Amino acid sequence: MPILCAAAALTPLFKTTLELKLLKYLAAAGYTISCYFYSLTFKVFAMSQKPSQPLPSYLNPDNPGPWAVFLEQVDRVAPYLGDLADWVETLKHPERTLVVNIPVKMDDGSIEHFEGYRVQHNLSCGPGKGGVRFHQDVTLSETMALSAWMSIKTAVVGLPYGGAKGSVRIDPRNYSAAEMERVTRRYIEEIAPVIGVRQDIPGPDINASGQTMAWMMDSYSKKVGEHSPGIVTGKPIPLGGSLGRVEATGRGVFIIASEAARDANIDLKGARVCVQGFGNVGGTAGSLLHDAGAHVIAVQDHTGTIYNANGLDVPAVLEQVRNTGGVAGSANSETISNESFWSLECEILIPAALAGQINANNATSVQAKVIVEGANGPTTPDADDILKEKGIRVVPDVLANAGGVTVSYFEWVQNLSNFYWTEKEINERLGVIMREAYATLSATAHEHNVSLRTAAYIAACTRILNAAKLRY
Ligand code: NAD
């Protein structure tokens, strides 16, 4: 009898009906079950042990790729999560991972097959949100990491989304526009079972344009038999795209730069600003800072670095970029070496071009007071440590360039409600969200005496895990 009671009490621990039946049979037959308890104890002990490397079986443990970087970031932030640290394992496993084959007929009649992914990292706070990247080097590990960083980014600005990302292994330079259209449409058809206006909303990423998003929206709408503009963001305006989306990321960078300057007692009027990358993000941020009275003293892009100690004529530089594709040769500027750009004395430095630009080689010479990361991942972790020691405040990418995903969220909201806002309304709402997010991170950084980057991860992981815990 005591044996049967023990068996009943432990019932939830037995994983299979077969195990339970066997146990009841043994108990009823009066056999000793100590051996079973021994193996059970071992099993429970093994289950309670955290795996040292929670890598999914489909990643190579010897070369896990970018996903390992994300895991390390989560481990670093876990000590700050209080009771929620028990839930941190949730973040180390993408919620849903889809790998698809994309067979496409080429212009010459042959068939080529491409690998595509859609990863939904965590959907606790809402449907998935994240761009689709078309690049020959994308991997599943990279897509997983990018989806996880979308979870962090959307949570940092408090959007009701989870993190997702998609990609297709293709070098678009080798294919015609018609072939890219067929690849895009087939990709959407293949991932259609896991996306939806309230499930997962793709957007553009590398090598995806407004036209790409229009094809995606059209293919999905035809598949489900109804006009579905809310299935993707980054659409052209006639298809339900949002006003202000093109400038949103640069505008967000400007808003955050203004907040960070105020925190550091820097008057924006007359503040010296250096910008790397003068495309969509850097050009917009530089232009808005110029309008606010800052002096953009140096700009670097793929064509070189231009400088004017009294401030460049930003509208003229933008005109030069429009006309020639780069900043080199802009009026009223001198050319300086690309290396010297990083050691210029300035109040605000905005890397808005490529990843890994501020690294162990140049971080020691940086003389900015504040760095606002317009690009994704422009500062390497070792450079981060150097900058921290130098007392330079770095506003991380997950906040600084979140203006883009914030206005994508506005686009989606407008699509769902079929009611469209003015550009003024969009910019004002963007300002409210960005400023609130900056204030939250600033307070978190202050509370834990950590960098804004660590604060961003603390705030984001707390938000996601709180939601996950409430739903469990
Ligand atoms: P873009 O193509 O419009 O501009 C890129 C700029 O980088 C150009 O001025 C180019 O000349 C410059 N550049 C390229 N190679 C360079 C080099 N070797 N040295 C110096 N400059 C170089 O791209 P964008 O949309 O402005 O994006 C810039 C960064 O911002 C990227 O890291 C992107 O991932 C990130 N980002 C963009 C958005 C967005 O909405 N556009 C959103 C989030 C993050």
**Atom 28 of ligand 1, residue of closest alpha carbon:** 353
Question: Using an 8 Å Cβ cutoff, are 253 and 403 in contact?
Answer: yes
Which ligand 1 atom sits closest to the C-alpha of 376?
32
Q: What is the whole-number distance in angstroms between the Cα of residue 472 and the centre of ligand 1?
A: 40
Across the strands, what pairs with 96? 120
Q: What pLDDT is recorded for position 37?
A: 32
Q: What pLDDT is recorded for position 224?
A: 97
- Checking if the pLDDT of 471 tops 70, the result is yes
Cα 129 from Cα 82, distance rounded (Å): 27
Selected residue with higher pLDDT from 243 and 6: 243
- The pLDDT of 239-265, averaged and rounded, is 97
Secondary structure E strands in 288-352 = 295-301, 304-307, 334-336, 345-351
Which ligand 1 atom sits closest to the C-alpha of 249?
40
Confidence band, pLDDT 50/70/90 cuts, at residue 472: confident
Task: Summarize pLDDT for 405-424 with one digit per residue, the tens.
Answer: 999 999 999 999 999 999 99
Min mean pLDDT across 50-59, 302-311, 312-321 is at: 50-59
- The pLDDT of 100-124, averaged and rounded, is 98
Question: Using an 8 Å Cβ cutoff, are 85 and 463 in contact?
Answer: no
Task: Summarize pLDDT for 71-106 with one digit per residue, the tens.
Answer: 989 999 999 999 999 999 999 999 999 999 999 999
Confidence band, pLDDT 50/70/90 cuts, at residue 47: very low
Q: What is the whole-number distance in angstroms between the Cα of residue 352 and the centre of ligand 1?
A: 6
Q: What pLDDT is recorded for position 26?
A: 36
Cα 221 from Cα 242, distance rounded (Å): 19
Question: Which residues belong to the active site?
Answer: 165
Radius of gyration of the chain (CA): 26
- Checking if the pLDDT of 136 tops 80, the result is yes
- Checking if the pLDDT of 30 tops 70, the result is no
Mutate to test the pocket of ligand 1, among 209, 301, 318, 406 (most ligand atoms within 8 A of CB): 301
- Checking if the pLDDT of 262 tops 60, the result is yes
Mutate to test the pocket of ligand 1, among 135, 149, 302 (most ligand atoms within 8 A of CB): 302
Q: What is the whole-number distance in angstroms between the Cα of residue 282 and the centre of ligand 1?
A: 7
Selected residue with higher pLDDT from 472 and 23: 472
Q: What pLDDT is recorded for position 54?
A: 75
- Checking if the pLDDT of 24 tops 60, the result is no
Q: Which of 379, 380, 369, 274 is nearest to 327 (CA)?
A: 274
With a pLDDT cut of 70, the percent of the chain lying above it is 89
Task: Summarize pLDDT for 178-191 with one digit per residue, the tens.
Answer: 999 999 999 999 99
Confidence band, pLDDT 50/70/90 cuts, at residue 211: very high
- Checking if the pLDDT of 33 tops 90, the result is no
Dihedral sign computed on CA atoms, order 222, 228, 234, 235? positive
Strand order in the sheet with 304-307: 334-336, 304-307, 295-301, 272-276, 345-351, 367-372, 393-395
Cα 391 from Cα 368, distance rounded (Å): 10
- The pLDDT of 386-401, averaged and rounded, is 97
pTM (two decimals)? 0.88
Which ligand 1 atom sits closest to the C-alpha of 325?
11
Which ligand 1 atom sits closest to the C-alpha of 404?
40
Confidence band, pLDDT 50/70/90 cuts, at residue 222: very high
Binding pocket residue ranges, ligand 1, CB within 6 Å: 249, 276-282, 300-302, 326, 352-354, 374-376, 401, 404
- Checking if the pLDDT of 46 tops 70, the result is no
Strands 304-307 and 334-336: antiparallel
Longest dimension (CA), the chain: 96
Cα 252 from Cα 472, distance rounded (Å): 34
Task: Summarize pLDDT for 151-210 with one digit per residue, the tens.
Answer: 999 999 999 999 999 999 999 999 999 999 999 999 999 999 999 999 999 999 999 999
Q: What is the mean pLDDT of the chain?
A: 90
- Checking if the pLDDT of 25 tops 60, the result is no
Task: Summarize pLDDT for 355-375 with one digit per residue, the tens.
Answer: 899 999 999 999 999 999 999
**Collapsing DSSP states into helix, strand and coil, what is residue 273?**
strand
Q: Name the amino acid, one letter, at 401.
A: N
Min mean pLDDT across 36-50, 295-309, 377-391 is at: 36-50
Q: Name the amino acid, one letter, at 22.
A: L
